[in-house]
Structure 1
Amino acid sequence: MLRVIGNFWEVSMSRNIIALVLSFSLAAFFAPNASWAAEDHVAEAIQHTKEAIDHGKQGHANILADHAQVGLQHAEAAEKEKANPHTESAIKDLKDAAEHGKLGHADVATKSAESALGHLSQVK
């Protein structure tokens, strides 16, 4: 009888340890950590804005619009995290770039994207 209780204790302890390790692993994975949870939205906005400019120079207005839209989403997320007048200006320019890109105005959209890139590069 004691042996069964002893085995039960050993099995129960090993299950408890596994559950504890799994819990800590999940908590560490999903914990709001600045290096994990906070994506660098400004860097992403810059990257997509550069892509938009490259496609605009090639006359690909629709692809420019797509990249400007993604860059806009990241710029808006950066603005929510930390307000900045340069981010605010970049948002306006990226909206303009996306709108003109959808209309097929690659040249105008490219200029707006270049202006947005200038503002985004000044965000600190």
Structure 2
Amino acid sequence: MNITGEQKLLAILAHLAYLLGGLGFIIAPLVILLLRKEDPFVYHHAKQALVAHLAILAASFITSLLCLILVGLLLVPVVGLLWLVLLITSVIAAVKAADGQFYEYPLIQRLVSKL
């Protein structure tokens, strides 16, 4: 499969979309996913990034709610660690995308396969 520069750029953008701030880390991979359904390379990377970003958003949201009853305070370091893992794995994914390779985030493949 011959991967173009545009395909690589879109895949990298999907993985590193959290640099956009706000909900850009959800919106960018979602838009890429919806607009490039016919492109297996870009679709794969956008789907991986979207599920990973939604998972970390859900974990952060749940921890925030639990902080209201003080239980979540114990989970704050765990969520911080999850964000660090997301940072590392998304950089790895972006490098793989730049090399024209597929990448699967660890721990979320059951979720990805359902999408």
TM category, shorter: 0.3 to 0.5
Larger radius of gyration: 1
- Larger RCO (alpha carbons 8 Å, 6+ apart): 2
TM-score w.r.t. length of structure 1:
0.39
Identify the structure with the greater helix proportion. Answer: 1
